[in-house]
Amino acid sequence: MTASAPTRITLPRPDDWHVHLRDGAMLQAVLPETARDFGRAIIMPNLVPPVVTTADAVAYRDRILAALPQGADFAPLMTLYLTETTDPDDLAAGFASGLIQAVKLYPAGATTNSASGVRDFDKVRPVLERMAEIGLTLCVHGEVTDSDIDIFDREAVFIDRVLDPIRKATPGLRVTMEHVTTKNAVDYVRANDDDLAASITTHHLMINRNHLLVGGIKPHYYCLPVAKREEHRLALVEAATSGDKRFFLGTDSAPHTDPNKLSECGCAGVFSATNTMACLAHVFEAEGALDKLAGFASENGPAHYKLPVNQATITLEKRTDPAPFPAQIQTGEGPVTLFNPGYPLMWRVV
């Protein structure tokens, strides 16, 4: 007789290694959803205008801290938006101060608010070399934007055309491949050294491109990178639940109001901060890997970023009634729909 699966698990307070908090009224509404379960988060810098200097990051961090609910145990980890005019001395000073944890590479035009991103990678080579020298991590949105490349192939082509050449030209550069969506990316991480790791989102573990497109377009499943074939989702699930320390959670929780998601040209982004831990418990339980959840959500990310694991803990409990997650959260800019995996979630943080 096999032992029954646990219905209650405790793990170190998790971290989110990729989240969009936006600004202003949206920040006020979505920040509590992240701060409720997560101890720290890598904060994306693609505001309008973007966070490109250490001074910008200081100002944004202060706005985040001011918006935190009273008594919240949460630390924002700030990033800079890499541009072709980024000052290596400025980012080095920000890193030395402890403020800047990573620099974000957006190929120009790859995703929301990425127009200021990199077009000519030779122009950022001095910055990348400085980052390798001081040990500052490069977070990569891994998609090419060439018009002749199919949207479902953009990640695989990026690895071959952009990422691998950058890493070969810049030995020692620490890289996080963010929100990976393909078996190609999983295989690339596993074929390389420990300076390379990857974050995986909640939704890419749960949906494939059929969920997005079959039976009608589902705008709230539309994100970039776009969900891929089922074989790729299965590769992500295997990587996340394997115990391999090079894979960890980065939700890419990205709130947009419903009018912006449901418009003629809807925004890319899935908002999952509120129910991510319940979703992950469901995925890991289905794989018989609840014992690996702490590694993926709480331990592997800190190891990659050379930070300690959080001392505080959270407990997840599986009940017989579905967890009461809201369909939407209300913000000062309008309603934001929460990621819905399409079935009830029985796990909840207690």
Burial pattern 141-155, b for ≥16 Cβ within 10 A else e, equals: bbbbbeeeeeebebb
87 catalytic per annotation:
no
| Cβ proximity of 41 and 4 under 8 Å | no
Catalytic residue selected from 252, 258, 291, 321? 252
Beta bridge partners of 139: 104, 176
Contacts of 70 (CB under 8 A, 6+ apart): none
| Cβ proximity of 196 and 170 under 8 Å | no
Helix (H, G, I), strand (E, B) or coil at 153: helix
Peptide bond into 49 cis (omega under 30): yes
Beta bridge partners of 335: 330
Helix (H, G, I), strand (E, B) or coil at 346: coil
Contacts of 27 (CB under 8 A, 6+ apart): 21, 63, 64, 67
222 residue type, one letter: Y
- Rounded-to-integer distance, Cα 63 and Cα 216, Å: 39
Backbone angles phi, psi at 90, to 5 degrees: -65, -45
Backbone angles phi, psi at 318, to 5 degrees: -95, 125
Helices (H) and strands (E) in the chain, counts: 13, 13
List, by residue number, the catalytic residues: 252
